[in-house]
Every structure is written in C-alpha cells, then in structure tokens.
Amino acid sequence: MAYQTFGEIKTFAMNMLSEEEQDQVFQQGLLSRWGTRVRDRINQWHSWMWKEGLIRLTWPGIATGGPGTAAVLYLPEDVDQILSMYPNNLSYREPVRILQRWEFDQLRPGNTIGRGIDYLVIFGYYSVKRDNPSTTQIDVEASGAGNAENLQCRIVGRDQDNDAASEVVTLDALGQATTTKTFLGGPGLDGVTRCEIVKESLSGLTDPGIVSFQSAGTELESLNADQGEVKKERRRTELYAQIGGPGTYQIAYYRRYKPLTSDSDPFLPEIPNEFADISEYGIMAQVATFRKEWESKRMYEAEFLVRMRELQAWANREPGMKRRLQVNRQWGTRTNRR
C-alpha cells in the first residue's frame, strides 16, 4: 500500500538504520528533512491531478485605493498557484484575470483599468495571515501548559516612521513578551510581514503550545510550537472588482505542501498502490547518502527515476485507452503496446 502518513515512511527509514545511526538521525533531525525532500521531488515532477484543489474564498471590503474597489486577502497556506477564478453565483462567467503586482501596475497608467473585468493581484510570500490593522507594539504569547520561557520570536515589517524594522523578543516565565518597537498599521502598508519563531530557541522546551502574535487584540499569526512550526508562508492578494464587487469566488488551485513534522502528517496517500515503492527508493537513496554508500545511492536514484517516469506515463494515459502504456527503461520514452 501507498504510505498514508509521515509516521509510516519514518518507520520504514528507521528499520534500515542501526541503533547508533538512529541516534544520529534523531539528533540531526534528518527524518523530517528526508521525508519532505522525497515528497516534494515527487510532487514537483509533474502536474499531478492530486495536487489540484477547489476552494471558495471571500474577499472583504477593505479599501486600499486604486480603481474600483480593492480588497485584501491572504490566501490559505496550502493554496500555491491559482489555476482559475470565477465569481460565485453571478450571471457572467468571464474569469478573473490573475496578475503579478508589476503586471497590474503596467496595465493601469494613470490608475485606470481599461476593461470591466475583475483583477486579482498577487504579491510575494508573507508570514502573516492579515495586514497589521493599527500602528502599535506587537504582543507575543505562548498558550502551552508547559515551559515557553526563553522562546525567541522575530517580527519583521516597518515602524511608525515607515522604515524597515525587525525585532526579536524573548518570552518570560509566563510565556509572554511585547516588542519595544512600534510597527506601522493600516491596509497595504506592510507594517508586519513576518511573524516567526527562532528555531534554535525551541530546543529543550516542554509543551510551549500555540504561539500567538497580537496587534491591539487582533491576531496576526499563530504557530504550533509543539510541532516545531516556526513560520507560515501565505500569498497576499488584492482584488480589484469592476463588476462583482468584493465577494465570494470559486478558485481552482495547486496545493502547497508544508514540511513534515508530525507522525500524522499525510505523506502522499494519493499515489496508486502499485507505485508505493517510489517513496521507498527515494528514502533509501537518502539513507545511502547518509552512510556515504555512493554506489547504492546511484542504484536507488536510478530506480527512483525509472519508476517516476512510469508513474508519469500512467498519469498521462488517455481516458478509456485499452492499450498498455510502457516506459522504455533505458531512454525514459513512452511507447504504446497492444
């Protein structure tokens, strides 16, 4: 069977290692790195159908200036690339045009958009889930039942003078801290762009819980420190709605996968059972590299590549096609056999 969780693929890797090697792997945190690397290699190989998702999102009416009505929304963390976007429950079916910021600026000389359609402008990755609403200091608090004292957190953005600002705060015995800097607030001003945990400060802490970053009572981001989550990455968007106005949209997208940390995290359960060995070859290549067994590494890597080409051929087969698709193992080309 295909591996359902990170815990399952981790058990497979551990069974290959001696007790001494297991200790080294644990100390260096290699299992999460190996699993994430193999999973991401498989995901990035092809536009797999399992990466496609459908979501309905609502943009609020937060004015940021510019033509029409602009609304700001930070996309959920798992939404990576938007494939299509349509207004929900509206009579017209013209898709929303999706642009990068620089493309949008070129389209509207003099702040004028030529066509009466909706535009979604996509910014880079931010480590917050909303704009900082007000110019204030940032409060940080850990909600765990254990010890979060000396946990360090970093806040990055712009200060009240609109200068670039960054500050690292250290939580006290109560799991609390407040920045000395005052960060700029207001829609679209990038007052706070990153809220993150300093990874090295997690070492030795017991049950720090959920770390919350607050601006005047509004949560900018929360991180699960218990699971080693140090930051999130989200795409910031601005919607310029010429017809529909700020509202709800149907979105087809490619999923973005988070690093593997917890045993319950899914590990590509969508792969067909007959291709479960792909993950095994990927992990075995990582273990061989760890042991510096270069010949074994080359062998596992070659088998991984062959099986990936076969999976791609399987995914590309035409619907209803009864002929068998086979990958040439030497050249990696696809051939049809009756």
- If you average pLDDT over residues 218-237, what whole number do you get? 89
CB neighbours of 116 closer than 8 A, spacing ≥ 6?
A: 242, 243
Same domain, 244 and 105: yes
The boundaries of the domain holding residue 193 are 138-232
SS3 97: strand
Please tell me whether the overall predicted TM-score, pTM, comes out greater than 0.85 for this model: no
User: Among the listed ranges 41-45, 131-135, 217-221, 242-246, which one has the minimum average pLDDT value?
Assistant: 242-246
Contact by Cβ (8 Å): 299, 310? no
What sign does the CA torsion over 161, 162, 166, 168 have? Answer: positive
Same domain, 16 and 87: no
Examine residue 258 and state whether it is found in any structural domain, yes or no.
no
Answer whether residue 7 shows pLDDT above 80. Answer: yes
Could you tell me the pLDDT band of residue 243, with boundaries at 50, 70 and 90? low
Which pair of structure tokens corresponds to residue 182? 């005052």
Beta strands in the chain (DSSP E): 52-58, 69-74, 79-87, 97-100, 119-126, 138-142, 152-158, 164-170, 176-178, 192-197, 210-215, 218-224, 234-241, 248-255, 324-327, 334-337
Which pair of structure tokens corresponds to residue 205? 């802490």
In whole numbers, what is the pLDDT of the chain averaged over residues?
Answer: 83
With 0-12 CB in 10 A as exposed, 13-18 as middle and 19+ as buried, what is 321?
exposed
Residue 196, φ and ψ in degrees, nearest 5: -150, 160
Examine residue 157 and state whether it is found in any structural domain, yes or no.
yes
- pLDDT in the model for residue 115: 57
Examine residue 125 and state whether it is found in any structural domain, yes or no.
no
Better-predicted residue by pLDDT, 22 or 63: 22
- If you average pLDDT over residues 214-234, what whole number do you get? 90
99-146 pLDDT, tens digit per residue, is: 888 887 777 654 455 556 778 889 888 999 999 989 999 999 998 777
Examine residue 123 and state whether it is found in any structural domain, yes or no.
no
Which of 253, 288, 321 terminates a domain? The answer is 253
